[in-house]
Amino acid sequence: MPSATIKIYLPHGDPKRLRTGEISNWSGKAVAGPRTELEQLLRRDEAANVGIYLLTGIDPMSGGPAVYIGEAESIQTRLKQHLDKDFWNHVVYFTSKDENLTKSHIRYLEGRLIELAKAAGRANLNNSQATTSRLPESDRADMEIFLEKIEQLLPALGVEVLVPIAAPPESKEEARPLYCEISGLKATGHLTPNGMVVLAKSQAAPNLRPSAKDYPWVINARKQLLKDGVLVKADGHLLFTKNHEFSSPSAAAAVVHGGTANGRTAWKDSEGQTLKKLESS
């Protein structure tokens, strides 16, 4: 993506409360905030406009992140209709400052955002299906640029549902392959801005170690990964069926080992140097 200057405005001075986001030389604008401040969000002038929105929260069934992506000719009217949805606790909506977005434009953006959210795999998508819109070639190009700005702005507003779990590494540290081994089993991964990704086809210990009893989150994490199909039982081990991001190298190593582990020493490069040594060199 091209470089960008992002302006975040905090009307109350609190980054967890209502805030607006803009990018230099872009006609779009974002408004975000918690569900507890929905009334304030809907009183804003931007809420009367055509736009797209993302409702984010926790899926009550899986306990993982969830998102609903929608479009509306009036953000204000549409969001009021979502009060019966319990899962969401945060909303961000996008409109155009020059009022050039049409119904066809936002339907196109909604469809593309749903595609990107599905591909990223970070959250359960609550939409049944996306509306579709055919646009002239020039309009599609304009909307792809608008979409690119949304992708840049969302993480700055605390919403990462469009960020791919195994995004292409952006630095030398992220690009370095790392390996975690136990009892002849081997997992492969690399660092990310959010922690660490363990790559598909990595192996994990089939059984829990005694140390897991003192740290129930390891047990719960492995159970959830098995339930979600991220981990499956294979011949004498567990196997990662797809890339999965953990909050830290230690969290990743603990799941691979089946018990608590120091990720700074458990993960090593191809020459056997620990992550701890690599970071200090």
pLDDT at 238: 97
| Chain length of the chain | 281
For residue 167, the model assigns a pLDDT of 67
Q: Decide: residue 194, CB within 10 A, 0-12 exposed, 13-18 middle, 19+ buried.
A: middle
Alpha-helical runs (H) found in the chain? 38-43, 75-80, 103-120, 137-156, 172-175, 216-228, 249-257, 263-266, 275-280
Name the pairing type of β-strands 28-34 and 19-23.
Answer: antiparallel
Residue 129: the pLDDT is: 66
Confidence of residue 81 (pLDDT cuts 50, 70, 90): very high
Least confident of 3-7, 127-131, 254-258, 267-271: 127-131
* Residue type (1 letter), 13: G
Give the closest residue to 104 by CA, choosing from 148, 136, 151, 82: 136
Cα angle for residues 56, 109, 62 (degrees, 5° grid): 25
- Average pLDDT of 190-212? 92
- Contact present, 185 and 239 (Cβ < 8 Å): no
For the stretch 62-77, pLDDT in tens is 778 899 999 999 999 9
State the pLDDT at residue 130.
62
198-to-134, 188, 190, 228, 268 alpha-carbon distances in Å: 38, 6, 7, 15, 13
Give the pLDDT confidence score for residue 207 in this predicted structure.
Answer: 93
Q: In the structure encoding, which two tokens stand for residue 204, read together?
A: 């994990």
b/e burial code for range 178-187 (CB count within 10 A of at least 16 → b): bebebeebeb
pLDDT of residue 202: 97
Domain boundaries along the sequence of the chain:
6-156, 172-280
Reported confidence tier of residue 18, pLDDT bands at 50, 70, 90? very high
| pLDDT, the chain, mean | 92
Q: 72, 78 in Cβ contact below 8 A?
A: yes
User: Is 90 exceeded by the pLDDT of residue 193?
Assistant: no
Residue 95 has pLDDT above 80, yes or no: yes
Q: Has this prediction a pTM greater than 0.85?
A: no
What integer pLDDT is reported at residue 228 of this predicted model? 87
Structure tokens at 279: 């970071």
